[in-house]
């Protein structure tokens, strides 16, 4: 599952992005990978580990909701069913 968010484009500065995606590890756990920064520049990467896919999806939804409250917009979603 993958969600890409971005701030609205403005004349003053490049838009910011926030990228969330899930990766299954070799031992059956899941990682939520978060990357953020200014469009066109290298950003910050953080990886959080979860024991189950459901826990990872819940964390992904929480992070998405925080960014939506900050003014980001979902630009791209990939995966089975949009998280609510």
Number of domains in the chain: 1
* pTM score of the predicted model: 0.86
Q: Is residue 83 part of a domain?
A: no
Structure tokens, 70: 């900050």
How do residues 19-52 score in pLDDT, each as one tens digit? 999 999 988 899 999 999 999 888 999 999 999 9
Q: Among residues 21, 15, 13, 17, which one has the least CA distance to residue 5?
A: 17
Residue 71: which CATH number? 2.20.140.10
The span from the CA of 38 to the CA of 24, in Å, is: 27
Domain that holds residue 63: 2-78
The strand pair at 2-6 and 16-24 is best described as antiparallel
Q: Is residue 59 part of a domain?
A: yes
The helix or strand, by DSSP H or E, that contains position 67, with its residue range, turns out to be helix 53-69
Using a pLDDT cut of 70, give the percent of the chain over it: 95
């Amino acid at each position: 599952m993958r969600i890409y968010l971005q701030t609205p484009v403005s004349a003053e500065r490049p838009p910011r992005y926030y990228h969330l995606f899930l990766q299954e590890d070799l031992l059956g756990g899941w990682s939520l990978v978060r990357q953020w920064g200014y469009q066109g520049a290298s950003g910050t990467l953080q990886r959080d580990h979860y024991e189950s896919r459901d826990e990872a999806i819940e964390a992904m939804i929480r992070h998405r909701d925080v960014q939506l409250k900050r003014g980001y917009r979902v630009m791209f979603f990939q995966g089975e069913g949009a998280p609510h």
